[in-house]
Amino acid sequence: MRRSQSVLIVDDSSIIQQTTKLILVNGQFQSANIYCASNASEAIKYCQQQTFDILFLDFNLGFGSTGLPLLERLYHNKLLQHSPLIFILTADDSPAVLMGFSEYQPDGYLVKPLRLNTLKQRLEYTFEQRAINDRAFEYYRHSGIDGVETICAQSNASVSTYCTTITAVAKRLFNQKQPHLYPDIEVLLSLTQHHYQHLPAQLLLAQLWLQQQNFQALNPLLTQLRGLYPDHLMLLEYSACSALLQQEITQGYDFWLQAHNVSKNNLHRLFGLLWIECHFHNHTTMQQHLREAISYLRYSVWDKPCHHAFIVWLQLQHSDKKNMPIERLWRTISQQKTITKNERPFIYLLQAWQYLDNGNNLNAYKSYIAAMENA
């Protein structure tokens, strides 16, 4: 193992933290390079302060919180752009749990209780694959696509290693967000697409075509893959985004709803469903999803005033709640007796909207000014 690797262990149990740390130390990791966080907020602060080579994220972080919204937030805040190794720790290896994390393509799942030999084997295999990926990328920089195939041939790579290496180089190029690299990315991914039907390569190709809005190539690929993997979250997400970009709102909603029924913990997707339901006045389903959003929001890393404000605004669309006091609706969501200084501007803005909806323009203006003064 690599002794200099920096590691972050995220688990709400101090016993699991120390046990995992002890296993890593026995595996010749340096104790000083191993950090522990008890919840998602601590983990985010650590990742803001430094970069980690390996993350161990527990699925169940206590108080109804899971490692899935944490991973979502880390990606959203661009704290994982250096591509660390990510392992999910779980006592529940059911398909529902594994599928929930599939959108973020972790490097592996480790079932508790951890064992040194198992962990060592998984890490060593991953390190070896990463080393091949790095060499292949360097060969690409010097010799282009031929260089990538050369390093795969020199490594006597199996089909699995070949496909993984090709996809890793293509993904690294894709993450550079430079359009002049897109033709090379497409050629690289086509090497696996035509011969081996490698799903990660196909998903990355779909992501590339989605970004380019190349719907003529994208839609047949998504249709083919959904036939093979009907409940794959990334496929459903790309299908929804493709439909919405083509103004096919109902079809996009259906794909999002199917994805939500597979894994309910993605709040961004849930907010998208709520927005469309509000637009089409689908109040019955919207109320169900609002209850889910309130439940998932609490204790999660997305528990922020802006998201509370969005939920309260959606509640105001319903005739039974349109005239309810804003502070009462807010406290119902936050489960707090007092409203903080950071929350107060959102309260005033919501009150301004409520006044405006009732034709009380003067009070709407006053509340708007109060929001600006308190922002």
Structure tokens at 253: 């909603």
Given 55, 88, 114, the domain boundary residue is 114
**pLDDT reported for residue 123:** 85
- Give domain status of residue 204, yes or no: no
Q: Are residues 124 and 188 in the same domain?
A: yes
pLDDT for 205-220, tens place per residue? 999 999 999 999 999 9
Residues 28 and 75 in one domain: yes
Tell me, what's the pLDDT at 242? 98
Based on the domain organization, do 240 and 279 belong to the same domain? no
Evaluate if residue 102 carries a pLDDT over 80. Answer: no
Check whether residue 106 and residue 130 sit in a common domain. no
Question: Which of 186 and 157 is assigned the larger pLDDT?
Answer: 186
- Range(s) of the domain holding residue 246: 213-265
Which of 83, 114, 145 is at the close of a domain?
Answer: 114
Say yes or no to pLDDT of 65 above 70.
no
Torsions phi, psi of 135, nearest 5? -65, -40
Same domain, yes or no: 92 and 12: yes
The amino acid occupying position 199 is L
Tell me, yes or no, whether 229 and 281 share the same domain.
Answer: no
Is there a single domain that holds both residue 374 and residue 272? yes
More confidently predicted of 293 and 97: 293
Q: Identify whether residues 277 and 261 lie together within a single domain.
A: no
Give the end of a domain, one of 226, 243, 265: 265
Does residue 206 belong to any structural domain of this protein?
A: no
- Whether residue 208 is contained in a domain is answered as no
Give me the number of domains the chain comprises: 4
CATH assignment of the domain containing 16: 3.40.50.2300
pLDDT band at 93 (very low <50, low <70, confident <90, very high): low
Any domain includes 207: no
Q: For residues 41 and 72, is the Cβ–Cβ distance under 8 A?
A: no
Collapsed DSSP state (helix, strand, coil) of residue 112:
coil
Q: Are residues 352 and 282 in the same domain?
A: yes
12 plus 91 within the same structural domain: yes
The most confident of the ranges 117-121, 161-165, 191-195 is: 161-165
Residues 287 and 330 in one domain: yes
Residue by residue, DSSP assigns 181-244 as GHHHHHHHHHHHHHHT--HHHHHHHHHHHHHHT-HHHHHHHHHHHHHH-TT-HHHHHHHHHHHH
Whether 244 and 283 share a structural domain: no
Q: Say what the pTM is.
A: 0.83
